[in-house]
Chains A and B, each alone.
Chain A
């Protein structure tokens, strides 16, 4: 199970999404997951091996690295992307349940031939009734997860900028030791890029929420 497996799973959900939902999914896969896999992972690849401290004290390097980077950006982004894409599975489960109910109804009314069963599988579900509530919940959860992770990033790495130099005083480092981070500029560029795409995704989710609410109100009136 890797990103390609997740892509296969979520592509199925795509069929029952709104147009904005499909755009959101494309942005997630192309501008976030793909950039993470082909570019960002190699930038952070040597983050520990190239983290150099101005001391020969054994253990100081490890302790300082652990102090300043409790969890690496790459792992945080991977967790964020997994949690943000997973609410779509709520919708997939609800659609599967509705299709199951439709099939049972066909069996009861005596229309259980192969052609009707195939049609149940293929036709697109309208986002109305209980499916509307499930869909809206999934969008709200997506927004929540995005916001929480952006806050965690801000708390762990204030200002989103990667520093070139950190001053470390943790035991066993003698007094204060200068430690140098590898590729700080490239890391800052990618952090800002991922932040911007995260913001774009939040905007798309809010637009989708507004669209669903407006559509439901228009239907009711």
Chain B
């Protein structure tokens, strides 16, 4: 079970999304997940090995690394991407449930082509509209929460070149050097920018759905 399987699972949901939703999914897979897998993981690959402290004291490096990097950027991004892509499964479950209900009702009546039922695209209205809107809302919340967690843990998003460590068993204050700080800062800003774009796409999709339902509303009453 890896990113490829997640793509297969979410690809199915794509059929019932709005156009903005499809763009969002593409941005997620190409500019975030793919960048994470092909580039960012290599940049952070040697983060602990090449974290060098100016001391021979055994254990000091481990303790300092743990103190300054409680959870690595790569793991935080992996968790963020998993949490952000999962609300789409709520929509998939709702669609599957709606189809199941239709099949049950039609089985009692006349016989229809089951394969055709599978391929028909469901319109986003009624309870599916609420599920879809909730899923977008949760996506936005998760993105915001993770951006805040990043900011809180690594103030300012910039990777420092040097950290001064005083944790036991380091003697007095020890200088520790982070590996590839500029490259890490570049990727952090890139992932942050794409995260921002995804949030804007989600907000746009939310507005689009609300406007669509408001426009349909007055037409129904006339």
Contact = CB atoms under 8 A, between A and B. Distances in A.
A118 to B, nearest CB: 11
B66 A185 contact: yes
Interface stretch (B72-80, B184-192, B210-218): B72-80
Interface in A14-40: 19, 22-23, 26, 29-31, 33-35, 37-39
B208 to A, nearest CB: 27
Nearest to B60: A180
Given A37-B1, A39-B75, A180 B59 contact: yes
Given A34-B1, A52-B61, A165-B59, A185 B82 contact: no
A189 B86 CA distance: 20
Contacts of B6: 30, 34
Contacts of A182: 48, 62, 65-66
Given A3-B1, A4-B2, A52-B58, A178 B70 contact: no
Q: Which secondary structure dominates where chain A touches chain B?
A: helix
A42 interface: yes
A163 to B, nearest CB: 11
A136 interface: no
A53 B57 CA distance: 10
A38 B49 contact: no
Nearest to B89: A26
B48 A54 contact: no
B160 interface: no
Interface string A172-186: 000000111111111
Interface residues of A, number: 39
Contact of A181 (B5, B62, B93): B62
Contacts of A37: 1-2
A144 interface: no
A46 interface: yes
B62 A34 contact: no
The contact size tier of chain B is 20 to 34
A164 interface: yes
A37 B5 CA distance: 12
Contacts of B5: 4, 7, 29, 34
B169 interface: yes
B89 A186 contact: no
B2 A38 contact: yes
B63 interface: yes
Contacts of B2: 3-4, 34, 37-38
Contacts of A170: none
Contact of A31 (B9, B49, B82, B97): B82
B65 A53 contact: no
Contacts of B58: 52-55, 178, 180
Interface in A184-199: 184-186, 189-190
Contacts of B62: 50, 52, 164, 180-183
Contact of B82 (A23, A35, A190): A35
Contacts of B74: 39, 42
Given A54-B58, A179-B59, 13 more contacts: A4-B2, A30-B1, A30-B89, A34-B2, A34-B6, A38-B3, A39-B79, A42-B74, A52-B62, A53-B58, A55-B58, A178-B59, A185-B71
18 contacts: A3-B1, A6-B1, A19-B97, A22-B93, A29-B5, A31-B82, A34-B82, A37-B1, A39-B78, A39-B79, A43-B75, A52-B61, A55-B58, A164-B62, A165-B63, A182-B62, A186-B69, A186-B72
Interface of A: 3-4, 6-7, 19, 22-23, 26, 29-31, 33-35, 37-39, 42-43, 46, 50, 52-55, 122, 164-165, 178-186, 189-190
